[in-house]
Structure 1
Amino acid sequence: MTASAMSNRFYFGDDDSSASSDDNLPYPKPLTRASFLTPNFEPTTFLSTLRNRHQTLEDLRAELRTRSQDLNKELLDLVNENYQDFLSLGSSLKGGDEKVEEVRLGLLGFRREVEGLRGKVDRRRKEVEELVEERKRIRDSVQVGRRILEIERRIAVLEGRLMLASTGTRKVEANEEEIDESDSEESDEEAESNAIGIPRLRRHMEQYMYIKVSMKRTGPEHPFLVKQEERVLRLKQTVLLDLNSALKQAVAGGEDMKADLLKLLGIYKCMGEESEAIQVLKESKR
C-alpha cells in the first residue's frame, strides 16, 4: 500500500503501531442500507460515525457512489415495474365495457324510478296544498256564517227591545233569556237615573255599535249583510229617537238633570253622532 493511500485512511490510536504494518488494519465492512434510513438523516453526522473506519477517502467515495448507483437502479426498476403494470391495466380490463354498460343501464333505470317517485311526491304535495287551502276556505266560510248568524240574532234582539213593528215573529225567535235578564237589570238601574232610562239607552247603543262593528269585520259587501242594511238603519234611527227624547227631557230638567245630560252626550259620542246631539240642543233652546 502506498504512502499517500496510508495518509488518507481513517483510524485512531498509536501512530507507531499503526504504521508498522498494513496487514494489521481491519478490512472495512460494507455500508449498510439501514445507516441511510434513519429519520432526519444528516451526512455530516453519518460521516462522524466513520472515524474508526480504516478506509481511504477515495475508497469511501467509490463505495458511496456505488451505493448511489444501486439505489438509482432500484428506483428505475421499481418505476419500470409499475409502468409495466400500468400498461397492462388496459389489457386486464378487457371485456369490462359490458359491465360498465350494465352499471350505466342500472343507473338509468334507478334515475327513472327516482324521477317517477319525485313526480308522485310533487302531485301529492299539490293535492295536500289544495286540500289545506280548501280547509282554510271552509273554515273561513264557517266563521263568516257564524258571525252572520250572530249579527242577525243581535239585530232581532235589538228590534225586539226597541219594539219595532217590522220585527213580527223575529221578536219571538230572539233569545228570551237574554232579554229577560237585561230587562231585570235595566229596571234596577233605571231607578237611579230619574226615570230617563240612561242604562237602557246605553245598552241599546252598545248593541247597535256591536252590530255595526261585526258587519264591518265580516264584510259589509256580503249579500246577506247588504240586505240587512235597511234593518240596521231603522235600528239607528230608533236609538237616536229615544236618545233625542231623553236629551230633551234632560235639558228641560235644568240643573237637577245635568248629570244625566252629560251621560247622554257621552252616549252620542260613542255612537259618533255628536252633530245630532248639537242639533237637538239647539232645538231645545228655541
Structure 2
Amino acid sequence: MDRYFTSESIDEDNLELPSAKQIERSSFSVPDFDVDEFLAGYHQYQTLEDIQDQLRTWTRSLEQELVDLINEDYGQFVGLGMSLAEGKPKVQDIKVEILGFQQEIKQVQKKLETSAKETDSLIQEKAQLREMEV
C-alpha cells in the first residue's frame, strides 16, 4: 500500500485548513465591485450556499439600517412639514399685504397717467397760445 503522507512529512502544527471567510461591508462596497471576483474570492473558502446565507444576513442588516435611518430622519421630516404648516398663515398674511401694495401701486400708476395726460394737455395749450401770439 502506497502512503501519500508519512508521519515525518506531516507536521501537525503547520497544518492550517482554510476557514470560512466572513463577508465584510468593505468587501462589496468598493467603487469597482465585481461580482465574479467577489464570488471567486469567497467560494474557495466556503460553499455558495454559505455565501448566500451570509449575503442574506447582510441584506437583513442593511434593510434594518435603512429603516433606522428613515425613522431617525422621519421626525425631522415631520417637524419640517409641521413648521411649514405653521408658516402657511404667515405666508397668507404676506400675500394679503402684497396684494394691498399691488393695489396701491396701481392707484399711483393711474394718478401718474392722469398727471401725464394733464401735463401733455397743458403743453399743447401753451404751444397753441404761442402760435396765436406769433
Shorter-chain TM-score tier: 0.5 to 0.7
Q: Does 1:77 align with 2:68?
A: yes
Pairing 1:212-231 to 2, within 5 Å after superposition: none
List gaps (5 residues or longer) in structure 1: 1-15, 147-286
Paired residues of 2:21 and 2:42 also in contact (CA < 8 A):
no
Task: Measure how far apart 1:35 and its partner are.
Answer: 3.5
Residue number in structure 1 paired with 2:23? 31
Partner Cα distance (1:41, 1:101) in 2: 52
Residue number in structure 2 paired with 1:68? 59
Q: CA RMSD in A?
A: 4.1
Partner Cα distance (1:82, 1:105) in 2: 35
Residue number in structure 2 paired with 1:111? 102
Q: Which secondary structure does the structure 2 equivalent of 1:24 belong to?
A: coil
Pairing 1:1-286 to 2, within 5 Å after superposition: 24-39=16-31, 41-48=33-40, 50=41, 54-89=45-80, 91-92=82-83, 96=87, 99-130=90-121, 134=124, 138=128, 142=131
The structure in which a higher percent of residues are helix is 1
State the identity as a percent: 35
TM (norm. structure 1) is: 0.32
Partner Cα distance (2:66, 2:87) in 1: 32
TM (norm. structure 2) is: 0.57
Aligned residues: 122
Partner Cα distance (1:125, 1:29) in 2: 89
Q: Which moved more, 1:89-98 or 1:66-75?
A: 89-98
Task: Measure how far apart 1:84 and its partner are.
Answer: 4.1
Partner Cα distance (1:28, 1:54) in 2: 5
Task: Measure how far apart 1:59 and its partner are.
Answer: 1.4
Task: Measure how far apart 1:54 and its partner are.
Answer: 1.9
Residue number in structure 1 paired with 2:8? none
Task: Measure how far apart 1:92 and its partner are.
Answer: 4.5
Task: Measure how far apart 1:99 and its partner are.
Answer: 3.1
Larger radius of gyration: 1
Give the letter aligned to residue 35 of structure 2. Answer: P
List gaps (5 residues or longer) in structure 2: 6-11
Task: Measure how far apart 1:102 and its partner are.
Answer: 3.8
Kindly tell me: are residues 121 and 47 of structure 1, through their superposed partners in 2, closer, same or farther at Cα, counting changes over 3 Å? farther
Greater RCO, CA 8 A, separation 6+:
2
Partner Cα distance (2:118, 2:24) in 1: 80
Task: Measure how far apart 1:81 and its partner are.
Answer: 3.7
